[in-house]
Amino acid sequence: MAFDSFLFIYYFIPVMILLLAFVEGEWRNIALLSLSLLFYYYGTGLHVLTMVGITGVNCFGVAFIRAHDDGKQRKRVLILLISLNLAILAFFKYSGFIIENLNIILLLLGQSPIVYEKKVLIPLGISFITFHNVSLIVDVYRKSVPDNPGLMQTLNYIFAFPKIIAGPVLRFGEYIKTGWVCEIGPESFVRGMRIFIIGLAKKSIIANTLGGTADMVFSIPSDSLTVLMSWCGIFAYTMQLYFDFSGYSDMAVGIAKVVGLNLPENFNYPYTASSIRDFWRRWHMTMTGFFMNYLYIPLGGNRAGKARTYANLYIVFFVTGLWHGANWTFIVWGLYHGTLMVFERFGFGKRLDSIWKPLRHLYVILAIMIGWVFFRSSDIGSAVEYLKCMFGAGWVTEEMSPIVMVVDREFVFASCLAIIGSSPLIKNVVSMIDLRISEKNHLSLLKEVVGFVILIFILLVSSLYIAAGTNAPFIYQNF
Over the stretch 151-181, which tens digit does the pLDDT of each residue have?
888 888 898 888 888 778 888 888 887 766 6
Q: Which of 181, 196, 211 is the last residue of a domain?
A: 181
Residues 150 and 172 in one domain: yes
Residue 95 confidence (pLDDT) above 90: no
Q: Which of 20-24, 280-284, 451-455, 473-477 has the highest mean pLDDT?
A: 280-284
User: Does residue 433 have a pLDDT over 80?
Assistant: no
In a domain, 476, yes or no: no
Task: Tell me the per-residue pLDDT of 310-363, one tens digit each, with 9 for 90 and over.
Answer: 999 999 999 999 998 889 999 999 999 999 999 888 877 778 778 888 888 999
CB 132 within 8 A of CB 155: no
Return the C-alpha torsion angle 383, 384, 386, 388, nearest 10: 170
**Would you call 315 helix, strand, or coil by DSSP?**
helix
Query: Helix, strand, or coil here: 289?
Result: helix
- Cβ–Cβ < 8 Å for 317, 279: no
47, HSE (Cβ side, Cα atoms, 13 Å): 17
- Predicted pLDDT of residue 399: 55
Q: Higher pLDDT residue, 347 or 473?
A: 347
Judge whether residue 276 has pLDDT over 90: yes
Is the pLDDT at 99 greater than 70? The verdict is yes
pLDDT confidence tier of residue 405, bands split at 50, 70 and 90 = confident
| Residue 340 confidence (pLDDT) | 93
Are 147 and 175 in contact, with CB atoms under 8 Å apart? Answer: no
Alpha-carbon gap, residue 383 to 294, rounded angstroms: 31
**298: in domain:** yes
Q: Mark whether 284 and 415 lie in a shared domain.
A: yes
Identify the DSSP state of 400. Answer: P
Domain identity same for 394 and 264: yes
Could you tell me if 173 and 197 lie in one domain?
A: no
Confirm if 97 and 172 have CB atoms less than 8 A apart: no
Tell me what the pLDDT averaged over the chain comes to.
85
Domain that holds residue 332: 188-420
The crossing angle, in degrees rounded to 10, of helices 409-421 and 208-218 is 120
Whether 201 and 166 share a structural domain: no
Same domain for 12 and 91: yes
Position 442 scores a pLDDT of: 62
427 lies in some domain: no
Q: How many residues in the chain?
A: 479
CB 187 within 8 A of CB 444: no
pLDDT in tens, 441-471: 666 667 777 878 889 999 999 888 888 875 5
**Cα–Cα distance for residue pair 286/267, rounded to 1 Å:** 9
Which contacts of 33-36 are long-range, i.e. CB under 8 A and separated by 24 or more positions? Answer: 33/152, 33/155, 33/156, 33/159, 33/160, 35/161, 36/156, 36/159, 36/160, 36/161, 36/164
- Give the pTM: 0.90
| Boundary-marking domain end, from 181, 196, 225 | 181
Mind listing the pLDDT tens digit for each residue in 183-195?
A: 777 788 888 999 9
The reply to whether 204 and 153 lie within a common domain is no
DSSP 74-113: HHHHHHHHHHHHHHHHHHHHHHHHHHHHHHHHHHHTTPPP
Are the beta carbons of 55 and 159 closer than 8 angstroms?
A: yes
Helix (H) or strand (E) holding 249: helix 227-258
Geometric angle at alpha carbon 20, from 15 and 23, rounded to 5°: 130
412-439 b/e (C-beta count within 10 Å ≥ 16 → b): eebbebbeebbeeeeeeeeeeeeeebee
Position 25 pLDDT exceeds 80? no
Catalytic residues: 324
Identity of the amino acid at 327:
N
Q: Name, in order, each residue with C-beta under 8 angstroms of 279's C-beta and a sequence gap of 6 or more.
A: 270, 273, 364, 368
Are residue 142 and residue 117 in the same domain, yes or no? Answer: yes
Q: How many domains does the chain have?
A: 2
Q: How many whole angstroms from its chain centre is CA 263?
A: 13
CA–CA dist 188, 70 (Å, integer): 44
Indicate whether 114 and 193 sit together in one domain: no
Residue 440, SS3 per DSSP:
coil
Q: How many CB atoms lie within 10 A of CB 342?
A: 18
